[in-house]
Structure 1
């Protein structure tokens, strides 16, 4: 599991993903879960969330949320003039990346 964590938790630049089809992201989640089930000895068709939690393993949603929170925190706290300029731009404030970040970080009540 340590080998899996060190190599498969680093999904580089996933916090910048903003243009993808939901079906594509769902296929990636299924692949990630299937790969993760092997070292745990779980059958491919079983529900895995409880077993992941018991073994201290993050699913793809959690990995993405951690990455987004980390990058967004660094951007918001940066004192760099370049980062500040980007942060104040309408592309950052209203763009697709910011919309995805907000969707991942904040639960929206529906109904």
Structure 2
């Protein structure tokens, strides 16, 4: 009670980005930091797909194999079970899924080609459909 008002009792709360728990142990905050590090490493090493904007002639099988590997890498980095929902894990991590990453990379390439002063690229940009 505080000034006659009943206070809610919580098991944990964030204070200055640090998670404070009822038992005053740092395990939960260390897990938060570990997961944040995993997200950074995944984004740095697994989402570059540097030349994917150039891919134009591929099979659905090749595309799906890459998507599955991308999802499995994210699960492995975070220590998630093999069959957890890909949609749920990316949404929960506030991280772009494979399809979103591919769309962003392709759109970025088109944007760079259209903005280029290079005459060859300008000719290609005029023919993009």
TM over 0.5: yes
Partners of 2:65 and 2:122 lie apart in 1 by 36
| Greater RCO, 1 or 2 (C-alpha within 8 Å, sep 6+) | 1
TM-score (norm 2): 0.63
Partners of 1:39 and 1:86 lie apart in 2 by 39
1:9 aligns with 2:47: yes
Partners of 2:76 and 2:121 lie apart in 1 by 41
1:12-58 Cα offsets, whole Å, 9 max, x none, are 20011111110111111111101101222321112121221121222
1:52 aligns with 2:90: yes
The alignment yields a C-alpha RMSD, in angstroms, of 1.6
Aligned to 1:80: 118
* Count of matched residue pairs: 91
Aligned to 1:107: none
Q: Describe how 1:85-100 pairs up with structure 2 within 5 A.
A: 85-88=123-126, 92-93=127-128
Q: Is the radius of gyration larger for structure 1 or structure 2?
A: 2
SS at match of 1:19: coil
1:29 aligns with 2:46: no
Q: Which has the higher strand share?
A: 2
Q: Report the alpha carbon displacement of residue 85 of structure 1 after superposing the two structures with TM.
A: 2.0
